[in-house]
Structure 1
Amino acid sequence: MTTLTIDVADVNTVKASMKAAFRGVPQGCSFSFPNEAQLLATLNANRWAILKALTGAGPLGVRELARRVGRDVKGVHTDAQALVNCGLIDKTNTGKLSLPYDEVRLELIVRAAAA
């Protein structure tokens, strides 16, 4: 099973992960946003539904994707394009949308502020 983990990480954390990967340390598949606000603005409820519909489904056309999420084609196209533009989903040479993972995990961590 291939899993994509979506999280929030600062640039230094991402760089450290990349350096470890270059040393051969397995990192898994991840997509990091620089802050919670950007993650939540990008992954609204409609876009999360698109990710859920694409998970494990193979490449889908926009019309089929719209049918699966119960929305109009134009709205799904707009939201899917935003996900393509940020790099979360892929667009094939034939124009179909793809998320090549069997599972997507969203990690948001809240810690108590230092006193």
Structure 2
Amino acid sequence: MTTLKVKIESLDQTMATVADLLKAAKAGDATGGEFSLSFPSWETMHKVLTPKRLEIVTAMTGQGAMPMREVARRVGRDFKAIHADLETLLKSGVIDKAEEGGVIFPYDRIHFEFEIKSAA
């Protein structure tokens, strides 16, 4: 089962994770690799993963590649509205273009990982 882990972390935290993974890869340790998507803030995450876009991603989870019109049919929305949301998800790296055409969310599940702390 392939999981996409969605995180809220700073650019410094993301870069530290990448550096650790590169060191491990150079040392021949291929374990510890995960598929993750990081956002710098709660607000940014919600701008990209709106409820309607999460509905799209949920409908695509574990389904393989599909034409954009099929995505629209599965979530019961018109193609024009879906197209704009799919473009945003593509640009943000949440979904990918499929080799055979259409779009794909190549994961079986999504795991959100973040903490909420007091402001002061």
Tell me how far 1:92 sits from its aligned partner: 2.1
The reply on whether 1:57 has 2:63 as its aligned counterpart is yes
Q: Which amino acid aligns with 1:48?
A: L
Corresponding residue of 2:32: 26
Corresponding residue of 1:13: 13
| C-alpha separation in 2, matches of 1:41 and 1:76 | 16
Where do residues 73-112 of structure 1 align in structure 2 (5 Å cutoff)?
A: 73-112=79-118
Residue by residue, what CA displacement relative to the aligned partner does 1:16-56 show, whole Å, maximum 9, x if unpaired?
11111112261411000111111011111110011101110
| C-alpha separation in 2, matches of 1:93 and 1:100 | 12
| C-alpha separation in 1, matches of 2:10 and 2:33 | 16
State the TM-score, normalizing by the size of structure 1. Answer: 0.91
| C-alpha separation in 2, matches of 1:80 and 1:92 | 13
Q: Percent identity?
A: 35
Higher mean displacement: 42-51 or 101-110: 101-110
Structure 2, unmatched stretches of 5+, are 25-30
Tell me the matched-pair count. 114
State the TM-score, normalizing by the size of structure 2. Answer: 0.88
Misfit runs of 4+, over 6 Å: none
